């Protein structure tokens, strides 16, 4: 799972990791991504970590902000 691999070297607290994992799972559900090897899953994981680093604490809000950033990135491309 991309998010756990990215978090291995992080200094996040266990409760933060739990929230990020929950946000990651919510994002994958919303995007209907079932293939965990899809390169998009790593992009989502990275965005979720970036959002969490801003201090956002709610998994739902982390997910929503990460998906919003993903959409912005795709529209800019």
3-state secondary structure of 56: coil
- DSSP assignment of 7-48 equals HTT----HHHHHHHHHHHHHHHHHTT---TTSHHHHHHHHHH
State residue 48's pLDDT score.
96
State residue 6's pLDDT score.
81
Domain ranges for the chain: 14-76
Is residue 66 exposed (0-12), middle (13-18) or buried (19+ Cβ within 10 Å)? buried
List the pLDDT tens digit at each of the 77 positions of the chain. 678 788 877 788 889 999 999 999 999 999 999 888 889 999 999 999 999 999 999 999 999 999 999 999 888 87
């Amino acid at each position: 799972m991309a998010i756990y691999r990215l978090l291995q070297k992080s200094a996040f607290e266990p409760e933060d990791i739990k929230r990020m994992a929950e946000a990651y799972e919510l994002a994958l559900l919303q995007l209907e991504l079932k293939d965990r090897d899809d390169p998009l899953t790593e992009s989502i994981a990275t965005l979720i970590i970036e959002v969490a680093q801003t201090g956002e604490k709610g998994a739902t809000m982390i997910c929503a902000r990460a998906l919003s950033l993903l959409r912005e990135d795709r529209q800019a491309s």
